[in-house]
Structure 1
């Protein structure tokens, strides 16, 4: 079974993801669950000043979180902006990353020509713990962790696929837990907490990030923004505001060149 098919048959829905979010009657310990994670990531506030490049930095090293909940790399004054709505469980997104990221950063972002922003999109509940953990250490670590996920996506998703087939009740039980436990339980069941632990993210910090209600709500809001922008599948790109649906660098590169030529 492919990742796409396994996710399509997973016994969850967005309504289950959202159950308990913004619930004013939630226990105090759950309502305050975002506090330690927000402090741990330093990601709770938008940057107050335009990002600049320090001596010795490439523009692809300059990453900020955007008001839309995405992560933008590059010169904020670049003449071309490329926004991707992508999902960490999306195989086409992984294929694009593996073919495009290196040349795009080297030839377009580092040169100051293009600013690239990735906005995480929820395809299924499996996206949520993985995405929260890519964001857990803030903008500086977001792209390295995301690239690690895309590079090992097939192997990373195998435990979740197998569990959804052999013991779907375990996944259902994880999703039925209180919100401040839900995505930690799911992440443990999927094995993704261990994946990130091997990349330097302690389990304590992972648990804090996976219980961060504000981060969960931001991820849902980013997905809803994508839907309102006309996203019906991933990856979907917006090149200077124009919607483009492709997963091929060979198709995207000439579009970037044309956009730059029109400046």
Structure 2
């Protein structure tokens, strides 16, 4: 993977690309979740680069893409589009885990003609009807509640809450390592505030696949996914022996599910 950057007045965003030798190969873009980084998709990059051009990136405010000023999902979508332009990618399949799924949905709203398909990984839907007043209230409390934990306890709680296997836990702890407690809490507060502010109703014309870890107990993600699938008719595939970070907990099954979906796009 070749590391590259794009820069805006808000900051520098880092991404990694592996081009397939076939210039007509479909491009897959992997977007990680909250407080993680591009290493969340190592198993997918290694597997899919054989047949696709693959891009993974550190979301603004995360990993190498910090410091970053004025985070929003609309700005993240603009940054992703700058990557597309720089790499001459006309359209791609977007694969987003948790918060990364919000960034993908925002990109699809802003640049619908550049999205071939969307795959959600333990993410939640854009759409006001899915979230109760109580849901919105508790999302607003995440930052200050997180400040009540010691740093090491906070890291452990986040990693345990997001994973089901030791592989997943170790990967999440490694991704959390660069952040101190203040930054972790701030990132969570900014990201969730952005979601509450930018969330809007959507209707996508391209194919969508939802995936959910069998043991995903992260907030109400499971409930949101079943409601999302019921309302839209999007297929929902449950990944066994996996938690919120299902692609890391069980990459073999996850990759097979994604591969089957991608084969149907050809």
- When normalised by structure 2's length, the TM-score is 0.30
Higher relative contact order (CA 8 A, sep 6+): 1
Name whichever structure is richer in helix by fraction.
1
Tell which structure's C-alpha radius of gyration is larger.
Answer: 1
Normalising by structure 1, what TM-score? 0.30
